[in-house]
């Protein structure tokens, strides 16, 4: 890979943006061309992310006009958007407009929820505000790389972190017909899933040594899980989801349960999962229950399963910032630019985090 592809990170000062920058620093196929932050233009990237100082000692955040100028120079810049829900759509729309006026055609992976829905009405029903770029919705596909062989659109909307874990665990059950369409999900997420801005739910004295649920049976990402599961499996599933906040910074542990259509032991379900993901380089199916620490800061997902002959439980762990966001987005970008899907993403988890 002698000539690396220029990449731009949008919404560049949050946790997911920091993870994108960390992964891009060592990527063999992409090279950071710019990082957009409306709140910090001109400031050093290392001031927001001191742990990245060795990679970006002199790199500075840029304004929208500066990013537009970069887009106008390259025939096909890769764009990774970590801007928040509601902000991402109009910002991506403006940047694509500017690039297209210059005769350039960048490709986008958006990590917000703004392009995960097929219609503006479906988005508005969940987020309670109008969509910022409804004409662009048809240009995006929302799916995990493991569940879509070919991409029918130019751009991608990456599913959320909880959604990624739930889909990895549930799509095989549905597509293989191992269970009925009714699934029950419980999940625990680390504090970085709430974003960089301090809120009560991520305040350390309240979260330390504690676990508590929130948005039980009313989590806003379940409609996208239903839509992605339908597209990947052909089944209209019903998910009852109870999310919880855990006392750790990174990682997600999800348990998906359903009634088996026929009696199966744990070994046969694990074998079915292993066969289903045989060509998925970042999904490892284990004989033993997966542990969050074994995937944190990596792009790997670990799965396992247990049954009692009537009910199956599929267990899945991912890192919310990597496989559930930045790493999954780069995995998509690798495919979009015909690079090896694993490029820049094969480092194992550090362990003992």
Tens digits of per-residue pLDDT, 81-94? 999 999 999 999 99
Give me the mean pLDDT over the 135-161 stretch.
97
Give me the mean pLDDT over the 50-69 stretch.
97
Buried b (16+ CB within 10 A) or exposed e, 197-234: eeeeebeeeebeeeeeeeeeeebebbbbbbbbbeebbe
Residue 1 has pLDDT above 50, yes or no: no
pLDDT of residue 2: 56
Strands 155-157 and 212-213: unpaired
> Could you tell me the sign of the dihedral formed by the alpha carbons of 207, 211, 214, 219, in that order?
positive
Give the span between the Cα atoms of 110 and 93, in whole angstroms: 12
Percent of the chain predicted with pLDDT > 90: 92
1: exposed, middle or buried (C-beta count within 10 Å: 0-12, 13-18, 19+)?
exposed
* Catalytic hit among 142, 161, 228, 316: 161
Give the span between the Cα atoms of 144 and 157, in whole angstroms: 9
With vertex at residue 282, the alpha carbon angle to CA 263 and CA 236, rounded to the nearest 5 degrees, is: 50
- Distance from CA of residue 113 to its chain's centroid? 10
Residue 143 tokens, joined: 């799916």
pLDDT of residue 173: 98
- Based on the residue annotation, tell me whether 142 is a catalytic residue of this protein: no
Give yes or no for a contact between 231 and 163, defined as CB atoms under 8 angstroms apart.
no
Residue 288 tokens, joined: 């033993």
With vertex at residue 332, the alpha carbon angle to CA 328 and CA 338, rounded to the nearest 5 degrees, is: 145
The CATH number of domain 5-142, selected from 3.40.50.720, 3.40.50.300, 3.40.1160.10, 1.10.10.10: 3.40.50.720
Give the span between the Cα atoms of 40 and 135, in whole angstroms: 29
Residue 5: φ, ψ to 5°: -85, 130
Give me the mean pLDDT over the 205-231 stretch.
94
Residue 51 tokens, joined: 């742990």
pLDDT of residue 218: 96
Give me the mean pLDDT over the 106-123 stretch.
97
Q: What is the residue-wise DSSP string for 303-340? A: EEEEE-SSEEEEEEEE-TTIIIIIHHHHHHHHHHTT--
pLDDT of residue 127: 95
Strands 179-189 and 30-36: unpaired
Give me the mean pLDDT over the 311-321 stretch.
98
Residue 201 has pLDDT above 90, yes or no: no
With vertex at residue 268, the alpha carbon angle to CA 262 and CA 269, rounded to the nearest 5 degrees, is: 75
Q: Where in the chain is the domain with CATH 3.30.360.10?
A: 161-320
Please name the residue that has the structure tokens 């495919």: 335
Residue 135 has pLDDT above 50, yes or no: yes
Buried b (16+ CB within 10 A) or exposed e, 127-148: eeeebbbeebbebbbbbbbbbb
The CATH number of domain 161-320, selected from 2.30.29.30, 3.30.360.10, 3.90.25.10, 3.90.1150.10: 3.30.360.10
What is the pTM (predicted TM-score) of this model? 0.97
In the chain, how many H helices and how many E strands? 10, 13
Q: Where in the chain is the domain with CATH 3.40.50.720?
A: 5-142
pLDDT of residue 233: 98
């Amino acid at each position: 890979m002698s000539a690396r592809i220029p990449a731009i990170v949008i919404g560049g000062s949050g946790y997911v943006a920091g993870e994108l920058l960390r992964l891009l620093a060592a990527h063999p196929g992409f090279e950071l061309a710019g990082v957009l932050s409306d709140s910090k233009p001109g400031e050093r990237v290392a001031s927001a992310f001191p742990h990245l100082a060795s990679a970006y000692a002199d790199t500075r955040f840029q304004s929208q006009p500066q990013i537009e100028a970069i887009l106008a120079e390259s025939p096909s810049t890769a764009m990774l958007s970590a801007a928040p829900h509601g902000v991402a759509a109009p910002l991506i729309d403006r940047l694509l407009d500017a690039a297209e006026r210059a005769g350039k055609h960048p490709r986008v992976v958006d990590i917000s929820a703004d392009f995960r829905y097929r219609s503006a009405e479906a988005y508005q029903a969940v987020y309670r505000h109008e969509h910022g770029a409804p004409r662009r919705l048809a240009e995006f596909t929302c799916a995990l790389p493991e569940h879509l062989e070919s991409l029918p659109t130019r751009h991608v909307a990456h599913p959320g972190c909880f959604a990624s874990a739930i889909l990895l665990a549930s799509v095989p059950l549905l597509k293989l017909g191992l269970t009925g369409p009714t699934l029950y999900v419980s999940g625990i997420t680390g504090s970085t899933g709430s974003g960089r801005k301090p809120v009560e739910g991520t305040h350390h004295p309240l979260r330390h040594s504690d676990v508590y649920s929130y948005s039980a049976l009313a989590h806003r990402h379940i409609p996208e899980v239903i839509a992605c599961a339908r597209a990947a499996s052909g089944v209209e599933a019903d998910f009852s989801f109870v999310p919880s906040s855990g006392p750790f910074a990174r990682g997600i542990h999800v348990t998906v349960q359903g009634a088996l259509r026929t009696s199966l032991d744990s070994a046969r379900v694990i074998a079915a999962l292993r066969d289903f993901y045989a060509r998925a380089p970042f999904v490892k199916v284990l004989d033993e229950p997966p542990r969050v620490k074994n995937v944190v800061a990596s792009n790997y997902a670990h799965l396992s399963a247990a049954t009692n002959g009537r009910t199956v439980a599929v267990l899945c762990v991912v890192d919310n910032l990597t496989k559930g966001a930045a790493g999954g987005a780069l995995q998509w970008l690798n495919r979009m630019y015909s690079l090896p899907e694993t490029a820049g993403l094969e480092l194992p988890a550090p362990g003992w985090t």
